[in-house]
Amino acid sequence: MNFQIENATPFLNRLEKELNPPQFQAVTYTDGPLLVLAGAGSGKTRVITYRIAYLIAVKRLAPWNILAVTFTNKAAGEMKERVDVILRHSLRGLWLGTFHSLCARILRYDGKAIGIDPRFSIYDTTDQGAAIKRAMAVCNVSPKEAKPAAILAMISKAKNRLEWPEQFEENARDEYEVRAARVYKTYQAILRENNALDFDDLLIEAVRLLLHKPEVGETYQKRFQHILVDEYQDTNHPQYLFLRELAKHHNRICAVGDDDQSIYRWRGADIRNILEFERDFSNVKIIRLEQNYRSTRNILAAAGHLVQQNSGRHKKTLWTDKEDGEKLGIVRLPDEISEAIWILNEVSRLYTEKSTPYGRMAVFYRTNVQSRLFEEECIKRGVPYRLIGNIAFYERKEIKDVLAYCRLLINPADMVSFQRIVNLPKRKLGAKAVQCLMDYASLMKLPILKAAKTIREEKHEATIHPTTRERFYLFSTLFQKWHSQTKTLSLPTLIETIVNDCGYSAMLEEDNDPQSQARLDNIHEFITAAMQFEKRFDAEIPSPVDTIVKLAAFLENVALVSQIDQLQEGEDALILMTLHGAKGLEFPYVFIAGMEEGLFPHSKSLDSKEAIEEERRLCYVGITRGQMRVVLTHVESRRLYGRSEWTRPSRFLQEIPDRFVEELCWSDAKPSLYHPPGVMEAFVSFGGDSGDWRKEQFEPGDMVNHRSFGFGVVLGVEGEGGRARVTVDFQEIGKKTVIQEFAKLTKV
Ligand code: ATP
Ligand code: MG
């Protein structure tokens, strides 16, 4: 295939127009190793993108002679698109991806040389957790002696130092490390047995391949004539070695980075790589970019003052010819719910008043659990959103499990939920026995939970062993007990009781998999959601209501929340993501939620200066994503992981000089601009209640009025009184099913 582009001159002219002089220099310098060190938004990624285009268009390189490394798959995709736009040329054969994906590719092609079967599977954290527990059992190391997560971390560190079990054992300083070495060895054996590699293995095996099989190394060294690396500040040692090996003959490597944005040191990223780069590659050219094209002057200055508090950083100049722009907004709110409401008010206002597409606005937070309230608030208002890099809250396994318990409590005939949890945690109820019980229930026309209870007495039922029948019975008694408690327990306490009684929380607590702790946290977050729901419910429905009714309403609410259609790629949607995920991206409007001590900076960083500095860099990354406006919110008291606590504003807020900041208050977001009331209002209706709705009886064809949905025609009714489920075709919003107790429909 011919990759000649007719004439390079117009292309070069174009580059000169679209790049400033140092950027142009960085794109076109090909005489040796190049390091671009520059602050946020100065065009580092732009340099990489244009450089790929330049190499192909002007230097006549074939795309397959280029290797480009980015930090996330999302960034890789975006970069490919951008090169495509600049070049309008086939990029077939270009290797552009993350370190992990590129190493995996090399190992699939050539791993055989070091004994790796090309069909290997890649183990994620959950798989790793399982493997390490097996390894510990084999080595007689109980989880009480050493936490599996701690041993995994130790192994990962060793791997990052390129220490194999043998060396690790040799270097062991005490008995603990000797035993850890044995576990490490067994863990590797288990991975091998399963033909699997973990994430660290991908990197170090690729490095090993390049180092120890010169003939393989040479093919790649010859193939990749140019190597480009974005976000260089976050590479770790094996990644560095990988690059060094590939580039060692020709030295044509271009790395761009910003030491102020290194946010993965806890994961082994090593800032020394920047220093080693200068040592290992001779005649390194260093180019600095100083003009920021992204943000207004206020945003840039605020971020700059913040990061200056860090010691041990390279001093940098960063300027912009943009206007001052709006000051950074800081908002103090009573609690996390008002925080979500405030931010969504502001999002709605920008959308309606300024016609800002949702996709130009982003909400960042420090921890994943913070996303739930934003998700809920979006859904209530019908604001489309996209949650990046994370499974939606109600889609998580542990939440679905707990929901299944709750559903079965309400609906004893719910076979799907029954099947999901009858043996979770393990109750020695195998799939076969469960199937037999389900057949029996269908045959006898019994709700599955009832069948579980009565099967014990079933004299003629021979397919299920009596011990197993006894176990089914015991399982059913759990639900009996919870039913009897629905009159006395509050909604959150009921759910907590369920989670405890059924053994689910104990199962997670005993399990030392690091994911289990996160799962427990999520369950606490779910209980918090129930508490918040009950509060709203009680405020709206004054008469005492059995908790089972509340649970039904809560589940219905959750069902609607989790049913949100998957957004199509490219559809306009508000972006929700963690600060870590935001690296490299930019948005006109940025909201950073949860600016509180203990949350951001995170509590686990509070006792180390270095960790605080990393948090500060993360904050710098967050603020510098903003192009036009950045708003930081913090709350007086926050309920997180099921506990409510008074909080103090983040120190980072104080570190931004007052002149770049304006304090906003609750009323600055205009509640009148709410979008049409959504899900929650469908259940929890409004005050001024005469109680007449209780007496209403509906029939299909009746014309009714709903406080927020307006007029509609009844299509169908199930049940009666407050619990009646009425399906109505509303004139404005179409078909909806509501519960009369909450909807309070009146006949017209
Ligand atoms: P970060 O440190 O956040 O990764 P970066 O240094 O990689 O930032 P880019 O994302 O490449 O910066 O650029 C920031 C923004 O400025 C982008 O929208 C980019 O298109 C724009 N930009 C960069 N250089 C120029 C230029 N010379 N002319 C016009 N726009 C530019
Ligand atoms: Mg970038």
Please report, for the domain that includes residue 698, its CATH number: 2.40.10.170
Place of tokens 């007689």: 140
Ligand 1 atom 27, closest CA: 19
In the chain, the amino acid numbered 722 is: G
Whether residue 485 is found in the same domain as residue 542: yes
Q: What CA–CA distance (Å, rounded) separates 696 from 692? A: 7
Residue in 234, 254, 294 to alter for ligand 1 test, most ligand atoms within 8 A of Cβ: 294
Please report, for the domain that includes residue 127, its CATH number: 1.10.10.160
**Environment of ion ligand 2 (residues, CB < 5 A):** 44-45, 584
Q: What CA–CA distance (Å, rounded) separates 172 from 149? A: 19
Q: What CA–CA distance (Å, rounded) separates 301 from 320? A: 10
Whether residue 480 is found in the same domain as residue 616: no
Ligand 1 atom 20, closest CA: 46
Ligand 1 atom 9, closest CA: 43
131 domain residue, yes or no: yes
Q: What is residue 724's three-state secondary structure? A: coil
116 domain residue, yes or no: no
CB 375 within 8 Å of CB 391: no
Q: Looking at 644, 673, 702, which one is the last position of a domain?
A: 673
Q: Looking at 266, 291, 316, which one is the last position of a domain?
A: 291
Whether residue 445 is found in the same domain as residue 530: yes
Ligand 1 atom 31, closest CA: 293
On the CB side of 110, CA atoms within 13 Å amount to: 19
Catalytic residue set:
44-45, 230-231, 261, 625
Q: What is the DSSP string of 668-692?
A: GS-GGGPPSP-HHHHHS--S---SG
**Could you tell me the CA-to-CA distances from 487 to 410, 482, 494, 551 in Å, in that order?**
14, 10, 10, 12
**Structural domains in the chain (count):** 5
Whether residue 469 is found in the same domain as residue 537: yes
682 domain residue, yes or no: no
In the chain, the amino acid numbered 327 is: K
Q: What CA–CA distance (Å, rounded) separates 160 from 171? A: 15
**Could you tell me the CA-to-CA distances from 292 to 163, 299, 317 in Å, in that order?**
42, 11, 10
- pLDDT at position 496, please? 95
Whether residue 544 is found in the same domain as residue 439: yes
Q: What is the DSSP string of 76-95?
A: HHHHHHHHHHHH-S--TT-E
Q: What is residue 491's three-state secondary structure? A: helix
- pLDDT at position 690, please? 43
- pLDDT at position 2, please? 37
Whether residue 721 is found in the same domain as residue 668: no
Q: Looking at 265, 291, 317, which one is the last position of a domain?
A: 291
678 domain residue, yes or no: no
Q: Which residues pair with 34 in a beta bridge?
A: 254, 285
Question: pLDDT by residue (tens digit) across 299-351?
Answer: 999 999 999 999 878 788 899 999 999 999 999 999 999 999 999 999 999 99
45 domain residue, yes or no: yes
Residue in 16, 45, 307, 320 to alter for ligand 1 test, most ligand atoms within 8 A of Cβ: 45
**How much distance in Å is there from the Cα of 292 to the middle of ligand 2?**
12
CB 418 within 8 Å of CB 476: no
Ligand 1 atom 23, closest CA: 43
**How much distance in Å is there from the Cα of 19 to the middle of ligand 1?**
10
**How much distance in Å is there from the Cα of 359 to the middle of ligand 2?**
19
Nearest residue to 203 (alpha-carbon basis) of 167, 237, 226: 237
Q: What CA–CA distance (Å, rounded) separates 614 from 622? A: 12
Q: For 142, which DSSP code?
A: -
Q: What is residue 412's three-state secondary structure? A: coil
Ligand 1 atom 18, closest CA: 294
**How much distance in Å is there from the Cα of 47 to the middle of ligand 2?**
9
Specify burial of residue 341 (Cβ count, 10 A radius: 0-12, 13-18, 19+). buried
**Domain span at 411:** 394-560
Q: For 649, which DSSP code?
A: B
**How much distance in Å is there from the Cα of 42 to the middle of ligand 2?**
8
CB 195 within 8 Å of CB 117: yes
CB 664 within 8 Å of CB 631: yes
Q: What is the CA radius of gyration of the chain?
A: 30
550 domain residue, yes or no: yes
Specify burial of residue 468 (Cβ count, 10 A radius: 0-12, 13-18, 19+). buried
- pLDDT at position 126, please? 62
Nearest ligand 1 atom to alpha carbon 292: 16
Q: Looking at the CA of 36, name the nearest ligand.
A: 1
**How much distance in Å is there from the Cα of 131 to the middle of ligand 2?**
36
Nearest residue to 86 (alpha-carbon basis) of 113, 130, 49: 49
Ligand 1 atom 21, closest CA: 293
| Percent helix, percent strand, percent coil in the chain, to nearest 5 | 55, 15, 30
Whether residue 318 is found in the same domain as residue 363: yes
Question: Which three-class secondary structure string do you get for 593-642?
Answer: CCCECEECCEHHHCCCHHHHHHHHHHHHHHHCCEEEEEEEEEEEEEEECC
Q: Looking at the CA of 288, name the nearest ligand.
A: 1
* Sequence-ordered strand ranges (E) for 108-260: 121-123, 196-198, 226-229, 253-257
CB 232 within 8 Å of CB 273: yes
Nearest ligand 1 atom to alpha carbon 39: 2
- pLDDT at position 63, please? 92
Q: What CA–CA distance (Å, rounded) separates 336 from 324? A: 31
Question: Which three-class secondary structure string do you get for 358-379?
Answer: HHHEEEEECCHHHHHHHHHHHH
Q: What CA–CA distance (Å, rounded) separates 719 from 485? A: 24
Q: Which residues pair with 339 in a beta bridge?
A: none
Any residues with CB less than 8 A from the CB of 361 and at least 6 apart, and which? 347, 350, 574, 575, 587, 588, 589, 590, 591
Whether residue 462 is found in the same domain as residue 543: yes
Q: Looking at the CA of 43, name the nearest ligand.
A: 1
Q: Are strands 703-706 and 710-718 parallel, antiparallel or unpaired?
A: antiparallel
Q: Looking at the CA of 261, name the nearest ligand.
A: 1
Whether residue 576 is found in the same domain as residue 549: no
Q: What is the DSSP string of 247-300?
A: HTTT--EEEEE-GGG---GGGTB-THHHHHHHHHSTT-EEEEE-B--SS-HHHH
**Could you tell me the CA-to-CA distances from 92 to 7, 63, 272, 518, 557 in Å, in that order?**
21, 6, 35, 41, 48
Please report, for the domain that includes residue 249, its CATH number: 3.40.50.300
Q: Are strands 574-578 and 587-592 parallel, antiparallel or unpaired?
A: unpaired
Q: What CA–CA distance (Å, rounded) separates 531 from 537? A: 10
Nearest residue to 634 (alpha-carbon basis) of 342, 204, 285: 342
What is the pTM assigned to this prediction?
0.72
**How much distance in Å is there from the Cα of 372 to the middle of ligand 2?**
28
**How much distance in Å is there from the Cα of 349 to the middle of ligand 1?**
28
Q: Which residues of the chain fall short of a pLDDT of 70?
A: 1-6, 73, 124-127, 266-269, 271, 275, 389-392, 460-461, 512-515, 540, 542, 556, 559-570, 666-695, 707-709, 722-723, 732-733, 739, 741-743
Whether residue 231 is found in the same domain as residue 100: yes
Nearest ligand 1 atom to alpha carbon 289: 6
Q: What CA–CA distance (Å, rounded) separates 386 from 170? A: 49
Nearest residue to 707 (alpha-carbon basis) of 687, 727, 690, 724: 687
- pLDDT at position 677, please? 31
Nearest residue to 238 (alpha-carbon basis) of 155, 160, 122, 154: 160
Place of tokens 């040329």: 89
Specify burial of residue 56 (Cβ count, 10 A radius: 0-12, 13-18, 19+). buried
Nearest ligand 1 atom to alpha carbon 258: 2
Backbone φ and ψ of 152, nearest 5°:
-60, -40
CB 18 within 8 Å of CB 50: yes
Q: Which residues pair with 332 in a beta bridge?
A: 634
- pLDDT at position 124, please? 67
Whether residue 432 is found in the same domain as residue 521: yes
162 domain residue, yes or no: yes
Q: What is the rounded end-to-end Cα distance, in angstroms, of the chain? A: 74
Q: What is the dihedral of CA 213, 113, 73, 372, to 10 degrees?
A: -120
- pLDDT at position 38, please? 93
* Residues making up the chain, counted from first to last: 748
734 domain residue, yes or no: yes
Q: Looking at the CA of 617, name the nearest ligand.
A: 1
CB 623 within 8 Å of CB 579: no
Whether residue 427 is found in the same domain as residue 513: yes
Pocket of ligand 1 (CB under 6 A): 19-20, 23, 38, 40-46, 258, 261, 293-294, 584, 586, 624
Residue in 229, 260, 292, 293 to alter for ligand 1 test, most ligand atoms within 8 A of Cβ: 293
